[in-house]
Structure 1
Amino acid sequence: MKLFRLLLAVLLLAVVLPASAARTIASGEDLMRHDGRIYPAADAAFPAGYSDIARWRQGRAALPRVSQFGGSYWLVAEVRNDSSVAGWVVAPGSVLFDQAAIRVYGSDGSVQSLASGYRADYQYALHYGQRIRIAPGASAAIVARIDSPFYQAPPSLRLFAESEYRHQSTLENSLILASLGALGALAVFNLFVHLMKPDRATWCYALYLLVFLVAWAQEFHLPAHLLGWHNLHWLYVPFFLLALPHTAFYVEFLQLRQHFPRLAKLSRINYVLPLLLLPSTVLALPYAPVLATLAISVWLSLALFCGIASLRAGVRQARYFVLASCALMVPATLILPSNFGLVAPPVYNPELLTLLGGTLDALLLAFALAHKLRLLVQDKELAMQQLNRSIIQAHTDHLTGIANRHAFDDQLALRHAAAHAGKEEGGLALLLIDLDGLKAVNDRDGHARGDALLRDFAHGLRQLLRAGIGVYRLGGDEFTILAPAGDVDCMLAALRQLESALRQRGYPQAGASVGWATAAEAPSSDAMLALADRRMYQHKNARRRAHAGDVLAATGR
């Protein structure tokens, strides 16, 4: 019988004690996941003291969870401080909620009253934590009345050692401000890039960054901190608008209209859906988080799909876009289900994780734009090289390799005008040359031998090239030289040497009939060419008469 009574007492203790015993504090642990209770808050009356909590809880029906569409709730948790630390911080969740009134009841009879949430004063910048004291070895009950028009995730009660929370909040604030600063710097930089070289993709990217910056600045309460502006109706407006500039960016950046016109049309849903759901921020605020999550999920999924399709199609700049989309999609995959109320947030500060993913996304998109610009520069350089080759080919005689008639006409007009303006040092002379003997070589040895004669003659002319001297083939057996007027005698002597060299190479009938004129003698470039042409034929006829006289003398007639 005694043994039975002992066993019954043990069973009663096993049932009763866990329900009433305070939980040992573990820094950072969510108390609501274990012994915490949630009650609907139909009233605003707190317990009178620590000993009154059990009576206060009687008649209140505990709830398994809060509604994500808002409401008022009591959160109650009991803790025991078995450490030597007396300074603690109570943090009623990391995700945004409107307001919370908190009281900490100590087993020693002390009562601490606190306020937290979006509308409260902050003891730690960008964080909800409020300092409390729980003496070592003491127990305490934490009662919080939380009110909010929506809950992005189930509210929680966490206790941190004050030194740990201070370090953690400082680290998180550094990451938050660094991320927001990076977003702002990238946005401003790309706006300047757009002003210097207008490009739709750069403009949309900069606009996307600015909207992203505003969205997360509001999420981390910067307007509330800096301006005292508390208005939850504006909180989700930039989150709804995020899809618009980003979609315009990737449609342009991935060239969807050219490569995937159907995906470009399908992407219009990212314009229509957010704008249709945007009025919920005013008309149905409790539903705004879920609707924004829906619009964001559609946008991110479609953007990633378009990026992968473009990458598979060989769009070179798509690889950075896909990496950027994954950087944003990975934290979104972890966080967005909790926004739908499907699961609890997998990390303590899901907003920070998403902001870091978004900042990495922005940096990778910057690399994507830089890569696109590099590809454009490469294409431009190739086009310029091709253009230069085309220009050279257009100004070059393909048989002889020297400049052609087109190049000669351009240079003659420019240099004649410069000579008459006094800008052509030493004046300008034009030597018009007719290569004699070409027809005889073609008739006797064939056109291949005639082409060789043309190339050899052009090679000899090319040796004359230096500053101020240009050599050209006008066509057929006609060549010309543009040179300073003072170099005419030198050019004539060089042509006589070239004539002798051609005869020694097996062209016995080769010769050069030359006529020259100066710019000072002609009022126009055409007149200058005509004068040289007349003199060239005079020289040719004189050479023919001289040759005929030599033949007669040789035959004794």
Structure 2
Amino acid sequence: MKQFRLLLAMLLLGILLPARAARPVTSGEDLMRQDGRIYVAADAAFPAVYADIARWRAGRAAVPRASLFGGAYWLVAEVRNDSAVEDWVLAPGSVLFDQAAIRIYASDGTVQHLQAGHRADYQYALHYGQRIRLAPGASAVIIERIDSPFYQAPPSLRLFTEAEYRRLTTRENALILGSLGALGALAVFNLFVHLMKPDRATFYYSVYLFIYLIAWAQEFHLPAHLLGWHDLHWIYVPFFLMALPNTAFYVEFLQLRQHHPRLAKLSRVNYVLPLLMLPSTVLALPYAPILATLTISVWLSLALTCGIVSLRAGNPLARYYVLAFCALMVPATLILPSNFGLVAPPVYNPELLTLLGGTLEALLLAFALAHKLRLLAREKEFAVHRLNQSIVLAHTDHLTGIANRHAFDQQLALRYAAERGGEGGEDGLALLLIDLDGLKAVNDRDGHARGDALLRDFAQGLKQMLREDVGVFRLGGDEFTILAAQRHVADLLAALQRLEGTLRQRSYPHAGASVGWATAAESPSSDDMVALADERMYEHKNARRRSRASDALASR
């Protein structure tokens, strides 16, 4: 009989009192990982008072964990405040959840009522925390009814001292807003870069950043906090879509179609899979987080694989790209397994860590694009240099190094047209046509190498006559010409006589220069100008021949 009374007393105590002793609270600790219990919430009825809690719990079925596919659950945790702090903050639920009703039953009989979640009013910017009072030395039972169409991570209950939580939210908000601001600035900057210098990779990158910015702004409750927009159906839309512009970016940036066409074709999965999964945000919202996690995992794996293959193939643009995706993959490897429900989140706010990794990735990809633009500018500079060289070579006689017939034709047409248009200045345009005498004799007697040397020496002499409005040209064979202002003709004729003497001193005894010149003023066309100078040049040549013949007869 005595044993029966003892057993009855224990049963009554089990009904009237909570099932276990309250645990001393530690700021920031997840109460659900310690002695917390989870029950399926088939109703919404809370215990009326502290003394009803044990009976209320006895009628409910405990479950080991909440389903990531959503639903309503009761979360129960017992705490004891052994500190001297009275002001606390309860941070309830998961990273993102729809709504939660909370009751805090203190041992002194008081009950605090709270609302939290995506649809509740925010006491701390971008965070779900709610202020509570817990007297020093008091015990309390926290009961939360959480209801959401999905859970990104197992629901949790954390208590922080108010001062610590305020510092925590201030620090996290600075990182969140700073990261979102950096993403927005990079998106706008690269869009302007694309508008000034159209490049598809830059455009795709800018679109990706805009979508990435919207995705994380929703994840951290900005639309709900600032605009009162609480529809969870839109949360995962940008997470599905951001794989599309990013894939278009890396296919273009890494030039996969040209260098790795199979990888380019395989990357089409990143276009098809997100679009196939996107309707889940409307038709099957509880499955959207898992499907988005799967889509992002496939996208990141393919993107990193393409970068590594391109890097090993020697693509210089792949260095920054691989480094950028490593910056994103490190936090992704922490958060993605928890999104699949495989492990608990390894840090308090894994989404913030992922946002920081994504922002670092965006900065490194910006460096990659800048590196690409630098390489393109270098290639353009080299191409312009090669083009200029080609133009110079196209206008240069390869043997003598002075301008050739093509350059002469262009210059004559331009300067003659300017002369006729009244833009030639006070002095008219003159053309001197020169025939190098004695070249055939040198070729026949000493060989063509010696003849080429004569041509080069004569051309070097003509180069000495160059000035701003004087141009020298080799037309071909032994024919040369000079375009100059008419006021220089006398000086040029004298210089040609001196050059002739110099050549004869260099063992070219028969070298000479027959010259004929004409002006634009006396020529109805540029062709007539050349013909007139040619006619006068042959007159000069014949006169020199007659003079040499007379000298030869006189010497006999």
TM-score, length of structure 2 as denominator length: 0.96
Q: Give the distance between the partners of 1:503 and 1:278, measured in 2 at CA.
A: 90
Asked whether 1:53 is paired with 2:49, we answer no
In structure 2, the residue matched to 1:13 is: none
Q: Which amino acid aligns with 1:498?
A: L
SS in 2 for 1:341: coil
SS in 1 for 2:156: coil
In structure 1, the residue matched to 2:397 is: 397
Instruction: Specify whether residues 261 and 510 from structure 1 end up closer, same or farther in structure 2 by C-alpha distance, changes over 3 A only.
Output: same
In structure 2, the residue matched to 1:157 is: 157
> Does the aligned pair in 1 maintain the 2:77–2:141 contact within 8 Å?
yes
Asked whether 1:534 is paired with 2:529, we answer no
Asked whether 1:332 is paired with 2:329, we answer no
In structure 2, the residue matched to 1:450 is: 451
In structure 2, the residue matched to 1:483 is: 484
> Does the aligned pair in 2 maintain the 1:94–1:127 contact within 8 Å?
no
1:111 positional shift: 0.9
In structure 2, the residue matched to 1:515 is: 516
> Does the aligned pair in 2 maintain the 1:430–1:532 contact within 8 Å?
yes
Q: Which amino acid aligns with 1:478?
A: E
Q: Give the distance between the partners of 1:427 and 1:212, measured in 2 at CA.
A: 69
Matches within 5 A, 1:281-300: 281-300=281-300
In structure 2, the residue matched to 1:247 is: 247
Q: Which amino acid aligns with 1:161?
A: T
Q: Which amino acid aligns with 1:293?
A: T
Matches within 5 A, 1:11-410: 20-410=20-410
Q: Give the distance between the partners of 1:315 and 1:427, measured in 2 at CA.
A: 58
SS in 2 for 1:536: helix
Q: Give the distance between the partners of 2:458 and 2:125, measured in 1 at CA.
A: 86
Q: Give the distance between the partners of 1:44 and 1:505, measured in 2 at CA.
A: 115
Deviation readout 1:434-453 (Å, 9 max, x if unpaired): 00011111111111111111
Deviating 4+ runs (over 4 angstroms): none
1:55 positional shift: 1.8
Deviation readout 1:355-382 (Å, 9 max, x if unpaired): 1111111111111111101000011111
In structure 2, the residue matched to 1:14 is: none
SS in 2 for 1:160: strand
1:261 positional shift: 0.6
Q: Give the distance between the partners of 1:19 and 1:319, measured in 2 at CA.
A: 59
Deviation readout 1:400-441 (Å, 9 max, x if unpaired): 111111111111110111111222222211000000011111
Q: Give the distance between the partners of 1:231 and 1:310, measured in 2 at CA.
A: 41
Q: Give the distance between the partners of 1:57 and 1:205, measured in 2 at CA.
A: 53
Q: Which amino acid aligns with 1:289?
A: P
TM-score, length of structure 1 as denominator length: 0.96
1:108 positional shift: 1.2
> Does the aligned pair in 1 maintain the 2:94–2:151 contact within 8 Å?
no
In structure 2, the residue matched to 1:462 is: 463
Q: Which amino acid aligns with 1:153?
A: A
Q: Give the distance between the partners of 1:396 and 1:39, measured in 2 at CA.
A: 91
> Does the aligned pair in 1 maintain the 2:93–2:146 contact within 8 Å?
no
SS in 2 for 1:105: strand
Q: Which one is further off, 52-61 or 249-258?
A: 52-61
> Does the aligned pair in 2 maintain the 1:94–1:349 contact within 8 Å?
no
Q: Which amino acid aligns with 1:430?
A: L
SS in 1 for 2:62: coil
In structure 2, the residue matched to 1:9 is: none
Q: Which amino acid aligns with 2:479?
A: E
Deviation readout 1:308-329 (Å, 9 max, x if unpaired): 0111111110111111111111
Provide the aligned length of Structure 1 versus Structure 2: 539
1:213 positional shift: 0.7
1:59 positional shift: 2.4
SS in 2 for 1:104: strand
1:20 positional shift: 1.2
Q: Give the distance between the partners of 1:387 and 1:411, measured in 2 at CA.
A: 20
Unaligned runs of 5+ in 1: 1-16
Q: Which one is further off, 418-427 or 22-31?
A: 418-427
> Does the aligned pair in 2 maintain the 1:97–1:117 contact within 8 Å?
yes
Q: Which amino acid aligns with 2:79?
A: V
> Does the aligned pair in 2 maintain the 1:94–1:128 contact within 8 Å?
no
Q: Which amino acid aligns with 2:460?
A: H
Q: Give the distance between the partners of 2:376 and 2:165, measured in 1 at CA.
A: 49
